């Protein structure tokens, strides 16, 4: 039985081997790091894949490995790997979060759609795949409009468009490097209110919060396909009318509770050494 760990090489290498050694399973690490950055003796097998972030090397390796050994779990800690891991679990029949459930946390546009469908106050958001989308969103919300990357970690802001002149300047060279590519962007109304980050289900779960924030966080998690035992990070922003709007919800795999999230994905109970049946 094998646990496959997907490591996108964001920051220092987490001590996956220490966290999972009690599983009794073989540990295979697939990483985008150079070999000199990986302590090979800690894992049963390490594969350093130069095209990790941009090719299908990882997917093909996992599928080939599954033909030779039983893959019991896939672990993915980077936001960009959540959907990849979910799709592989579904393909291989491995327990855990599937592709659609992963999209609920990896893609803020999907998060917004699910929250809105459940009546949870959330930041307005929409996909940007063509220039006309920016004009449409500005018509719906008014200016300023914030444009963010949709598939990069942290969803960084690429522009804040304050009027139509900004839209023309921003789109002068197009939204993608060529006519074949589809832009991976999203837009939302600019919100300058107070922001809060709340961890739920981890060591920081005992949280003093402003009125209304706790109920917004609880409602968001109730509306999304959360995994029992996994800590989550909810970011919210206070609107002009005083309401708390949920911005993003992600598994807290980059914080102090990463160990718990990794063990849950591997099928291990976070607080003891028994395998989840």
Query: What angle is formed at CA 248 by the lines to CA 178 and CA 105, rounded to 5 degrees?
Result: 75
Measured distance CA(259)–CA(19) in Å, rounded: 6
The answer to whether residues 111 and 204 belong to one domain is: yes
Contact assessment for residue 80 and residue 93, using Cβ atoms and an 8 Å cutoff? no
Measured distance CA(175)–CA(128) in Å, rounded: 9
Domain extent for 24: 2-97
- DSSP secondary structure string, the chain? -EEEEEE---SSPP-HHHHHGGG-SEEEEEESS-GGGS-GGGSSEEEE-TTTTTSSHHHHHHHHHHHHS-EEEEEE-SGGGHHHHHHHHHHHT-SS--HHHHHHHH-HHHHHHHHHHTT--B---EEE-SHHHHHHHHHHH-S-EEEEESSSTT--EEEEE-SHHHHHHHTTT-SSSSSSSPP-EEEEE---S-EEEEEESSTT-S----TTHHHHHHHHHHHS-PPTT--EEEEEEE-TTS-EEEEEEEE--SSTTHHHHHHHHTTB-TTSSPBP-
Contact assessment for residue 47 and residue 70, using Cβ atoms and an 8 Å cutoff? no
Mean pLDDT for back-to-back runs of 10 residues, the chain (277 residues): 91 91 94 87 90 90 95 91 94 94 94 96 96 96 96 92 97 79 90 91 60 92 90 92 94 74 85 39
Residue whose pair of structure tokens reads 């930041």 in the numeric block: 123
**What CATH code is carried by the domain that includes residue 76?**
3.40.50.20
| Position 74 in a domain | yes
The answer to whether residues 247 and 112 belong to one domain is: yes
Query: 108: closest CA among 90, 127, 131?
Result: 127
Positive or negative: CA dihedral 41, 10, 103, 214: positive
| Position 277 in a domain | no
Token pair of 170 as six digits: 């921003």
The answer to whether residues 115 and 141 belong to one domain is: no
The confidence score (pLDDT) of residue 254 equals: 63
**What CATH code is carried by the domain that includes residue 133?**
3.30.1490
The answer to whether residues 70 and 159 belong to one domain is: no
The answer to whether residues 72 and 167 belong to one domain is: no
| Position 35 in a domain | yes
Report pTM: 0.83
Residues 6+ apart with CB under 8 A from 241: none
Cβ neighbours, 10 Å, residue 59: 15
The answer to whether residues 116 and 210 belong to one domain is: yes
Total domain count for the chain?
A: 3
| Position 256 in a domain | no
Measured distance CA(182)–CA(258) in Å, rounded: 33
């Amino acid at each position: 039985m094998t646990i496959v760990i997907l490591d996108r090489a964001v920051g220092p290498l987490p001590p996956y081997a220490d966290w999972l050694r009690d599983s009794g399973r073989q540990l295979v690490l697939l990483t985008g790091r150079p070999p000199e950055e990986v302590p090979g003796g800690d894992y049963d097998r390490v594969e350093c894949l130069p095209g990790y972030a941009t090719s299908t090397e990882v997917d093909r390796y996992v599928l080939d490995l599954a033909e030779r050994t039983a893959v019991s779990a896939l672990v993915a800690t980077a936001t960009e790997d959540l959907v990849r891991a979910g799709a592989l679990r579904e393909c291989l029949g491995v327990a855990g979060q599937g592709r659609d459930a992963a999209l609920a946390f990896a893609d803020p546009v999907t998060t917004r759609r699910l929250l809105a469908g459940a009546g949870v106050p959330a930041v307005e958001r929409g996909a940007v795949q063509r220039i006309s989308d920016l004009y449409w969103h500005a018509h719906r919300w008014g200016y300023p409009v914030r444009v963010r990357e949709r598939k990069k970690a942290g969803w960084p802001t690429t522009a804040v468009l304050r009027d139509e002149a900004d839209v023309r300047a921003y789109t002068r060279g197009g939204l993608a490097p060529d006519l074949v590519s589809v832009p991976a962007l999203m837009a939302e109304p600019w919100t300058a209110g107070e922001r809060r980050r709340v961890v739920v289900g981890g060591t920081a779960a005992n949280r003093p919060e402003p009125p209304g924030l706790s109920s917004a966080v609880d409602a968001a998690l109730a509306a999304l396909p959360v995994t029992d035992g996994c800590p989550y990070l909810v970011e919210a922003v206070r609107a002009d009318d005083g309401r708390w709007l949920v911005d993003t919800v992600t598994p807290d795999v980059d914080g102090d509770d990463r160990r718990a999230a990794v063990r849950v994905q591997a099928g291990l109970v976070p607080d003891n050494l028994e395998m989840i049946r």
